Amino acid sequence: NAGVTQTPKFQVLKTGQSMTLQCAQDMNHNSMYWYRQDPGMGLRLIYYSASEGTTDKGEVPNGYNVSRLNKREFSLRLESAAPSQTSVYFCASSEPPRGDKFFGPGTRLTVL
Amino acid sequence: AQSVSQHNHHVILSEAASLELGCNYSYGGTVNLFWYVQYPGQHLQLLLKYFSGDPLVKGIKGFEAEFIKSKFSFNLRKPSVQWSDTAEYFCAVNARGSTLGRLYFGRGTQLTVWP
């Protein structure tokens, strides 16, 4: 099992460009999450999907959209990137109601 | 809403020193508690977790944590740290029975161990 995979690993964008971060899990988990990690801020939840076909906003959803394409895949889209979105993005999955999450390797995004 | 506080932002120790990282949470209901570790350049890995039962839980690599319900605390301990324990440590909590499984993280504690 690969666990949780993310692509790309690194990305540099110019302000105003768009891109989609991809995430897939092979553990048959119902729930998937997108977090961003910034120095001194810990992990903050952007969006989550409790099950296939549902998505909900987390703590910091502004500037992002998500798609739960199927049970395996959960993508995060930046429509018009801003420097404030420079961060490391982690995808995670779990099987509620247990809280332990499995995290992907992360995507390091820089917006110039 | 739940929140998690980690008291130390950066802890510096020498090898063989003992470690205790503080974590407190605010939530009125029953919770599941976690400690995650992030080694330099890597993703988060689960160190240990508490769901119920014995409040003293043991995790990987000699780490343990004690849940003290009356203090809303879940402090992480290790009797003797090693250089390889240099990493960032995150405490996290979620409401037990939550169908959403949302996890709330503390801001993290950077541990640096000098050889």
- Please tell me what DSSP assigns to residue B97: T
Q: What pLDDT sits at residue B30?
A: 85
User: Do the chains contact at A90 and B96, CB–CB below 8 Å?
Assistant: no
**Which chain B residues are Cβ-neighbours of A42 within 8 angstroms?**
90, 105-108
Q: What are phi and psi of B57, to 5 degrees?
A: -115, 145
Q: Which residues of chain B have pLDDT under 50?
A: none
| Contacts A–B by Cβ distance under 8 A | 69
pLDDT in tens, A72-100: 999 999 999 999 999 999 999 988 656 67
Q: What pLDDT sits at residue A56?
A: 92
Single-letter residue type at A36: R
- Measured from the Cβ of residue B29, the count of other Cβ atoms closer than 10 Å reads 9
* C-alpha to C-alpha distances, A41 to A44, A63, B104, nearest whole angstrom: 8, 18, 12
pLDDT in tens, B66-79: 999 999 999 999 99
Alpha-carbon gap, residue A86 to A63, rounded angstroms: 12
Question: H-helix or E-strand containing B89?
Answer: strand B87-95
Of A41, A98, A103, the CB nearest to B101: A98
Q: What pLDDT sits at residue A99?
A: 62
